[in-house]
Structure 1
Amino acid sequence: MSAALAAVLLSLLSALAYATAAVAQERLASRSAGAGLPRLLRDRAWWWSVLLNAAGALLHVVALRYGPLTVVQPLGALTLVAAVPLGARIAGRRVSAVEWRGTGLTLLGLGALLLTASGPAPDDVLSVPEALGVAAATTALICAFAWPGARPGLRHATASGVASGVASALTQTVTVAATDRSGPLLGAQVVGVALLVAAFATVGLLLAQTAYRGGLGAPLAVVTLANPVAAAVIGVSLLGERLRGGPVGVLLALTGAALASWGVVLLSRAAPEPGRAAPTQVVASGGPPLPGQRRRSTHRRLTRL
């Protein structure tokens, strides 16, 4: 099996694990809105979502050993493909036409970005000063997005995507440096960057948990878009990765980014309001509404009109 194919297959499995974790986090956030971290730590469902995220992260780490950031990161868009219909099914509703269009546009845009990616298995790493500089810039950016204000869900989702993308870029440095036989397995570079990976991965997880309080589709789309963009910036500017196709490739990448952004906007408009009941939600007694109950409910709505 070639390195590129191994990276793609591992990325697919990683996306599936991340999608299941995202749905679990969204459901947990919707039923415990306003709950602090201590309460989450006592919830077994939250720990299951953490384990799913950990499984996705482990598969992602291995994929980064076989493929460059510009190839592996856009494949994370498959998380959105699985999570939106899965979340709707668990919530007892159908995926709306707007959600399908938003998901499709996001994936089409990220697919265009993937077509412009190129490069063999990674062999370059960030130096310690570069890693510290990236960490400092990322921390400032996360603080700016996480500052209190309007639309906290999408801002927290953006911060989560940036944190996760940077964690992936730093993870690639750890995996390449740790498997390089020319240096020590646990040198200062590997240990120091690994600590930064753990910090940004944790921050990304917690920010995603708060972002999902407003629904799943739009925040997950923002995370899916911000993640590869952050990683690609590091890969192209510091790790020598390139977009193929010259000027045409750059134009295709910009077009893909515009399409993906349009998809995110559609998903943000289609996101259900927190606390709004799903169309197929059962009554509070736990069973389906009786025919008489349905008729009386309809009569009350007509009376109000």
Structure 2
Amino acid sequence: MVMSPVFLAVLISLVSAVCYAMAAVVQERTAADTAGVRGALARGSWWWSVALNATGALLHVVALRYGPLTLVQPLGALSLVVAVPLGSLVARRRTSRTQWRGMALTLAGLTALLTVTASGHAPDDTLHTTEMLGVALAAVAAVAVLVRFAARHSALEGLAFAAASGVASGIGSTLAQKLVVGPTVSWSTALVAALTVGFAVVGLLLSQRAYRSGLGGPLALLTLLNPVTASSVGIALLGEGFQYGETGTLLALAGAVAAVHGVTLLSRPQAPATAPGPRWSDGHDRPRLPASRPTAEALTPAGVDILGAGRAM
């Protein structure tokens, strides 16, 4: 039995999403233990995340050989569905009901999107050199604006860096498709390869900065903007679209709304894990004592002077 190109693209994309999810969890844990990107570079765990990201990126590029951008990119959102419970497991926390609902909505939305984008045909068109340069310049400008915004608004720094990473990664995927669909040896191919690697590295470093603010929110925004950026290019410049006419478009919009709502639920922070209390030597829990002994004033009703009452007696 021969696999269809679309089925093969979906299968490879699923494995790629798992690699990205594992990398995100490692990056977030590394970011929590280091002061910045330079500190992360000195950690062996960070280089494991680089290897996982590289494997996910390689599989993603292979998937783009068999499926269109509008199909392959939304599957990247599954990395969030994997990363959230995996992050909870590593941090020894329980995944909340809200987060399970978010994963269910994300999967439902992706299913709707896949229904109308799985055309059954491998891509046969890529960006022309002029279009490629225009898209790359627009992406550089967008990333620069977002990084500048992050520098001026520290409260939104993590989300701004995540948005910049999502744009860079999405454009990197768009350019990578030119390398796998009808590649030819020319100066333009070399330029595409350099730009693809450049955007991938920038996206990785920006995501590391983003995860200093936690995993859920930055990963959710990055996961959304990555496929939105690439799919927008595919629809606007490569003529990719949805099946079933207006019905397909409405189904895609409904799926997008469900996925966005699911990602929003997944981005809500979890309560920190509760440290176990002290135990007696026999293994039973000790009762928790107040942090400090209450003073006489705290135990005395307001307006009652104990010392004065004693002197009066």
Structure 1 residue 106: Cα displacement: 2.6
Specify the SS of the correspondent of 1:240: coil
Residues 1:98 and 2:67 are matched in the alignment: no
Q: Answer yes or no: is the 8 Å Cα contact 2:165–2:204 preserved in 1.
A: yes
For residues 161 and 3 of structure 1, the distance between their equivalents in structure 2, rounded to whole angstroms, comes to 26
User: Which among 263, 273, 279 is matched to residue 278 of structure 1?
Assistant: 273
For residues 92 and 78 of structure 1, the distance between their equivalents in structure 2, rounded to whole angstroms, comes to 22
CA deviation vs aligned residue, 1:147-191 (integer Å, no higher than 9, x gap) = 22132212221221121111111100111132xxxxxx4311211
2:32 partner amino acid:
S
1:193 partner amino acid:
V
CA deviation vs aligned residue, 1:243-263 (integer Å, no higher than 9, x gap) = 112112222222222222222
Q: Answer yes or no: is the 8 Å Cα contact 1:118–1:242 preserved in 2.
A: no
Structure 1 residue 222: Cα displacement: 1.5
Give 1:69's aligned residue.
69
Greater Cα shift, 107-116 or 232-241? 107-116
Give 1:181's aligned residue.
none
TM-score (norm 1): 0.87
Give 1:193's aligned residue.
192
What's the C-alpha RMSD, in Å, of the aligned pairs? 2.4
Q: Answer yes or no: is the 8 Å Cα contact 2:175–2:195 preserved in 1.
A: yes
Specify the SS of the correspondent of 2:197: helix
For residues 62 and 190 of structure 2, the distance between their equivalents in structure 1, rounded to whole angstroms, comes to 18
1:6 partner amino acid:
L
**In terms of Rg, which structure is larger?**
2
Query: Where do 1:52-91 residues align within 5 Å?
Result: 52-91=52-91
Q: Answer yes or no: is the 8 Å Cα contact 1:99–1:217 preserved in 2.
A: no
For residues 203 and 303 of structure 1, the distance between their equivalents in structure 2, rounded to whole angstroms, comes to 55
User: Which among 175, 178, 182 is matched to residue 180 of structure 2?
Assistant: 175
Specify the SS of the correspondent of 1:155: helix
For residues 49 and 278 of structure 1, the distance between their equivalents in structure 2, rounded to whole angstroms, comes to 24
CA deviation vs aligned residue, 1:185-226 (integer Å, no higher than 9, x gap) = 431121111111111111111111111122212222222211
Residues 1:225 and 2:224 are matched in the alignment: yes
Q: Please list every run of 5 or more consecutive structure 1 residues that lacks an aligned counterpart in the other structure.
A: 179-184, 283-287
Give 2:129's aligned residue.
128
Give 1:154's aligned residue.
159
Q: Answer yes or no: is the 8 Å Cα contact 2:84–2:266 preserved in 1.
A: no
Structure 1 residue 134: Cα displacement: 0.3
For residues 31 and 205 of structure 1, the distance between their equivalents in structure 2, rounded to whole angstroms, comes to 18
For residues 245 and 141 of structure 1, the distance between their equivalents in structure 2, rounded to whole angstroms, comes to 33
Structure 1 residue 302: Cα displacement: 11
- Runs of at least 4 residues off by over 4 Å: 291-294, 301-305
